[in-house]
Chain A
Amino acid sequence: MNSKQLACILLLVGMLVAYQIGQSLRNRAAATAMQADQADAEEVGQRTQLDAERSVLVDLQRQSKDLIEFTTLWEPFFAIIEEQQAAETGISMKVREANMLNISQRYEQLAHTINNKPNPSLPTMVRATLAFDDSYFKLLNWLGMMERIKPTMRVGRVALSKGSRGDDIRMDVVLEVPLKK
Chain B
Amino acid sequence: MQLAADQIDDFKTDRKDITPPLPMVFRLLPILFYLSLVFLAVIGTLALWHNKVAADRLQATQQRVATVQQEIASTKASRAALEEQIRRSTDLEGWVLASRPLQPLVVAITRSIGPNSSIVELSLERDPETPSRLKLGLRLNTDSDKQLEKTLDAIRDMDYREISPTQTMVRGDLSYRASLVWQKPDGAQDTPASRTGQQATGP
Q: Which residues of A come within 8 Å of B, CB atoms? A: 2-5, 8, 11-12, 14-15, 18-19, 21-22, 25-26, 28-29, 32-33, 35-36, 39-40, 42-43, 46-47, 49-50, 53-54, 56-57, 60-61, 64, 67-68, 70-71, 73-78, 80, 112-116, 119-122, 136, 140, 143-144, 147-149, 151-162, 176, 178
Contacts and interface: CB of A to CB of B under 8 A. Distances in A.
A151 B95 CA distance: 11
B57 A36 contact: yes
A73 to B, nearest CB: 5
Contact of B58 (A22, A32, A46, A155): A32
B45 to A, nearest CB: 9
Contact of A60 (B79, B88, B103): B79
Residue among A18, A112, A116 facing the most chain B CB atoms (10 A cut-off): A18
A21 B40 CA distance: 7
A50 B137 CA distance: 56
Interface of B: 18-22, 26, 29-30, 32-33, 36-37, 39-40, 43-44, 47-48, 50-51, 54-55, 57-58, 61-62, 64-65, 68-69, 71-72, 75-76, 78-79, 82-83, 85-96, 98-104, 106-107, 110, 119-126, 129-131, 137, 189, 191-193, 195-197, 200, 202-203
Contacts of B65: 39, 42-43, 46
A48 B19 CA distance: 73
B102 A147 contact: yes
B103 A140 contact: yes
B79 A113 contact: no
Contact of A71 (B40, B62, B82, B93): B93
Given A80-B203, A115-B130, A67 B89 contact: yes
A74 to B, nearest CB: 6
A29 B51 contact: yes
A3 B103 contact: no
A53 B86 contact: no
**Binding site secondary structure of chain B:** helix
B40 to A, nearest CB: 4
A26 B48 CA distance: 8
B107 A160 contact: no
Contact of A147 (B44, B91, B101): B101
A160 B123 contact: yes
13 contacts: A2-B20, A18-B37, A18-B40, A21-B40, A29-B54, A43-B65, A64-B86, A70-B89, A76-B203, A116-B129, A121-B87, A153-B99, A178-B95
A119 B83 CA distance: 15
B110 A25 contact: no
A64 B102 contact: no
A57 B91 CA distance: 21
A43 B36 CA distance: 40
A121 B89 CA distance: 9
Contact of B192 (A73, A122, A157): A73
A126 to B, nearest CB: 14
A171 B101 CA distance: 16
Contacts of B195: 147-148, 151
In the A-B complex, the 4 residue pairs with the closest CB atoms: A154-B99, A25-B47, A121-B91, A159-B123
A174 to B, nearest CB: 8
A60 B80 CA distance: 11
A111 to B, nearest CB: 12
Given A154-B98, A158-B102, 19 more contacts: A19-B36, A29-B54, A35-B54, A43-B64, A43-B65, A46-B69, A57-B78, A67-B89, A67-B90, A70-B96, A71-B92, A77-B202, A113-B129, A114-B129, A121-B92, A144-B103, A147-B102, A152-B96, A176-B99
